[in-house]
Amino acid sequence: MVADKTIIEVDNLTFRYDLRKKKQILSAISFSVKQGEWIAVVGDNGSGKSTLARLLVGLLEPENGTITIDGIQLNEETKWDIRKKIGLVFQNPENQFIGTTVQDDVAFGLENNNTPYNEMKQIVEEALQLVEMDMYWDQDPSRLSGGQKQRVAIAGILAFKPNVIILDEAFVMLDPKSRNQLLSTLKQLREKRNITIISVTHDMNEAAIADRILVMDDGTIIQDSTPEAVFKTNQQLAAPFPEQLRRKLAESGSNVPQTYMTEDEMVRWLCK
Amino acid sequence: MQVNFKGVTADYQIGPIRSRNILHHVNLCLPSKSFTAIVGHTGAGKSSLLKTVNGLLLPKEGKIQVGDQTITPELQSKVVLKHVRQSVGMVFQFPESQLFAETVEQDICFGPMNFGVSKEEAKKSAKDAILNVGLEEAVLSASPFSLSGGQQRRVAIAGVLVMNPDVLVLDEPGAGLDPQGKEEILTLIKYLHESKGITTILVTHDMDDVARYADDVVVMEKGKVVTYKPVHTFFNDVVQLHAWSLDLPEARRLQLRLEEEANVKLPKVCLTIDDLVAALIEVGLA
């Protein structure tokens, strides 16, 4: 499923909010993402995750280094074209509402792209169905609940059909059922349209389903590998529940295996 | 301080525009010094229920009693609302978006000074509040906007705590924080609840938080309260939880999976990882 084509190439990226201060929010980070990959970005608050997300869509300008999306280097001139390929869902959906009704809001990006009305109508309906907000199409987004707002914000990006979707903790206000449904919707979309997903998250169960995890700490990427390798070697990171259980059992003197375990492995071991 | 909802119905009608009812005949009595978690699907009315507790949303029918103050539909008295708002501390979703002042100290002092506390006294309480939420005193002179998200959240919570509320109402206070930051905030809330006897109402989607911190659970569905139970009883009834499409705490979920696949029965309902470790060792599975 993961093609060999590189979709995102970040090279030596450095960023400071305040040039008078020495502290770099991101210091010389480099990584690349292949088309169709699912990447989780984890790390403490203040480690630079959201800043990275904003840099990737050109909302912030790097001090140094380059970002290349689908072969085009991101700069003032190219950022409008690049934003057709990459969509960002913010952590707080309030930050991105403009429409007076749910359907207007989802249609906003399409209108800007001169999508024909009939086509647009259909796309908006589909996007709202994907997030199960179609019955709220005529409501004022500001009067929705937190989780509903978050779903509308996600629909706005899905309608745009970008190659890359960046989710900056876009699921935090969702109830577990909606969260799982949206995750499986995204998985299907990835299979159907081969989209690339970058999800900034604190939920380690969510991170564990990614192809790769980037662990950020104080503006640098300290680890870039599979969930298994990350949770095996990184003891600082809050591990997924089965791994936490394994560590606790080991502490209590049980003879559990000494290496990282997924839930299935843990259940099999306990059932042996 | 007790919070008592009696037949509360509410909507967000403004002028001629009618919206659907957000709350339908909510009857609920939360005793003094209780710690209650409110859970439910998005749009079930959780946040709206919280807003009625301090009169940000007035009921269309019914009444809400907070201590000896009563909020009713025809409430005109600013005095009642003032008293209610003085005793109910409210932490909204993403509370950091309500920070506004030039320094953290000014931001925290804003509330008490509005209620007539002197500047010196407000500053003194601000210092206590900032230490209480686990930040350093030096932060007081910084701009709130130079802080990280997690620190801003703490400052916003300090701004509520400085009012010495009897009731603390929190709408997903852990959303968007890293696991450690979230645990710290919730542990802090639990500590304040226990040491000061604050009646605490917490809206959350995280069943592990419900299991770890709350005593009782309220489930809301389509604007109604459909259950109100102690945590342990609540997580026992798996069939009902499934019907409400609610999750289980991780430990309980894994326990049920194990019990089915290994065909064993653990001695008790495990809500936390420590419960589960102890039970697994007790029955000799690990």
Same domain, A174 and A96: yes
Residue with the bigger pLDDT between B44 and B178: it is B44
Half-sphere exposure of residue B148, counting CA atoms within 13 Å on the CB side?
A: 18
pLDDT at B20 over 80: no
Q: Whole-prediction pTM value?
A: 0.79
Query: B116 CA to chain A: closest CA distance, Å?
Result: 33
State residue A66's pLDDT score.
95
**Which residues of chain B make contact with A43, given a CB cutoff of 8 A?**
178
Of A183 and A177, the structure prediction assigns the larger pLDDT to A183
C-beta separation of A106 from A99 below 8 A: yes
A104 shares its domain with A77: yes
* Domain locations along chain B: 3-248, 249-286
Whether residue B100 has pLDDT greater than 70:
yes
Of B39, B93, B281, the CB nearest to A254: B281
pLDDT digit string, tens, across residues B162-213: 999 999 999 999 887 888 888 888 998 999 899 989 999 999 989 999 999 9
pLDDT at B4 over 80: yes
Question: CA B99, CA B107: separation in Å to the nearest integer?
Answer: 7
pLDDT confidence of residue A212: 96
Element (H, E) at B86: helix B78-87
Residues A183 and A248 in one domain: no
Say which residue, B43 or A39, is predicted with more confidence.
Answer: A39
List of chain A residues whose C-beta atoms are within 8 Å of the C-beta of residue B181: 44-45
Task: Check B43 against A144: CB less than 8 A apart.
Answer: yes
Find the mean pLDDT for residues B129-149: 89
Mean pLDDT of chain B: 90
CB contact under 8 A, B281 and A173: no
Mean per-residue pLDDT for A11-38?
90
Q: What is the pLDDT of residue B178?
A: 80
CB-based contact A263 B175, cutoff 8 Å? no
C-beta atoms of B175 and A46 within 8 A: no
pLDDT recorded at residue A178: 80
Distance from CA of A81 to the nearest CA of B (A): 30
Do A223 and A254 belong together in one domain?
no
Contact A175 B40 (CB under 8 A): yes
Can you tell me the ipTM of this complex?
A: 0.73
CB contact under 8 Å between A270 and B177, yes or no, is no
Interface residues of chain A, partner chain B, Cβ below 8 Å:
43-46, 50, 91-92, 94, 143-148, 150-151, 169, 172-179, 202, 204, 238, 241-242, 244-245, 248-249, 252, 254, 256, 263, 266-267, 270-271
Q: Which of A91, A174, A271 sits opposite B42 (nearest CB)?
A: A174
CB–CB contact B175 A173 (8 Å)? yes
What would the mean pLDDT of A148-170 be, rounded to a whole number? 91
Same structural domain for residues A178 and A269? Answer: no
The minimum CA-CA distance between A167 and chain B, rounded to whole Å, is 12
Instruction: Say yes or no: A168 and A248 in one domain.
Output: no
What does the pLDDT read at residue B17? 58
Which range is least confidently modeled, A66-70, A264-268, B178-182?
B178-182
Residues on chain A touching B285 (C-beta within 8 angstroms): 270
Pick among A21, A135, A172 to test the B interface (most B CBs inside 10 A): A172
pLDDT score, position A94: 78
Of chain B, the percentage scoring pLDDT greater than 70 comes to 97
Q: Compute the average pLDDT of residues A137-155.
A: 87
From B42, B179, B285, residue closest to A147, measured CB to CB: B42
CB pairs < 8 Å spanning A and B? 121
- Domain assignment present for residue A155? The answer is yes
**Cross-chain residue pair A45–B247, CB shorter than 8 Å:** no
Co-location of A143 and A252 in the same domain: no
Residue A80 has pLDDT above 70, yes or no: yes
Average pLDDT over residues B72-76: 83
Per-residue model confidence (pLDDT) at position B15: 59
For residues A107 and A170, membership in a common domain is answered with yes
On whether residue A232 sits in a domain, the answer given is: no
Residue B190 has a pLDDT of 93
B134 or B274: which carries more pLDDT confidence? B274
Q: Which residue has the higher pLDDT, A224 or A260?
A: A224
Indicate if the pLDDT at residue B267 is higher than 60.
yes
Going by pLDDT thresholds of 50, 70 and 90, the confidence category of residue A23 is confident
pLDDT band at B256 (very low <50, low <70, confident <90, very high): very high
**Is A16 among the domain residues?**
yes
pLDDT at B96: 86
**Each residue's pLDDT tens digit, A205-222:** 889 889 999 999 999 999
Mean pLDDT of chain A: 89
Query: What is residue B19's predicted lDDT score, i.e. its pLDDT?
Result: 64
CA torsion angle A145 B107 B214 B47 (round to 10): -20
Average pLDDT over residues B65-80: 88
pLDDT exceeds 60 at position B235: yes
Which of A3, A55, A27, A1 minimizes the C-alpha distance to A168? A55
Please report, rounded to a whole number, the percentage of residues in chain A having pLDDT higher than 90. Answer: 50
- Give the model's confidence band at B14: pLDDT under 50 very low, under 70 low, under 90 confident, else very high: low
Q: Which residues of A touch B48 (CB under 8 A)?
A: 145
Q: Considering only CB atoms, which chain B residues are within 8 Å of A173?
A: 42, 93, 172, 175, 205
Give CATH superfamily name and number for B3-248: P-loop containing nucleotide triphosphate hydrolases (3.40.50.300)
User: Does residue A250 share a domain with residue A118?
Assistant: no
The span from the CA of A172 to the CA of A192, in Å, is: 26
CATH number of the CATH domain containing A29:
3.40.50.300
Give yes or no for residue A3 having a pLDDT over 60: no
B-chain residues near A254 (CB < 8 A)? 280-281, 286
Do A250 and A156 lie in a common domain?
Answer: no
The residue-averaged pLDDT of A228-239 equals 85
Instruction: At A6, give phi and psi (nearest 5°).
Output: -85, 125
- A81 and A153 share a domain? yes
Residues of chain B neighbouring A270 (CB-CB closer than 8 A): 258, 262, 280, 285-286
Identify whether A58 is part of a domain.
yes
Residue B31 has pLDDT above 90, yes or no: yes
Out of A232-246, B156-170, B231-245, the most confident range is B156-170
Taking contacts as CB-CB distances below 8 angstroms, the residues of chain A near B40 are: 175
Domain of residue A157: give its range: 6-227
In a shared domain, residues A153 and A201: yes
In a domain, A233, yes or no: no
- If you ran DSSP here, which 8-state letter would residue A269 be given? H
Instruction: From chain A, pick out residues whose CB is under 8 angstroms from the CB of B205.
Output: 147, 173-176, 179
Decide: B215 and B184 in contact? Cβ < 8 Å.
no
Q: How many domains does chain A have?
A: 2
Contacts of B19 in chain A (CB under 8 A): 143
Residue A189 covered by a domain = yes
CA distance B262 to B271: 19
Q: Which residues of A120-134 are buried (b: 16+ CB within 10 A; e: fewer)?
A: beebbeebbebbbbb
Q: Which residues contact B4 (CB under 8 A, 6 or more apart)?
A: B28, B29, B30, B64, B65, B66
| Sign of the four-CA dihedral B69, B74, B76, B82 | positive
**For residue B16, what pLDDT band results from cuts at 50, 70 and 90?**
low
CB burial of A76-101 (b: ≥16 within 10 Å; e: otherwise) equals eeebeebbebbbbbbbbbbebbebee
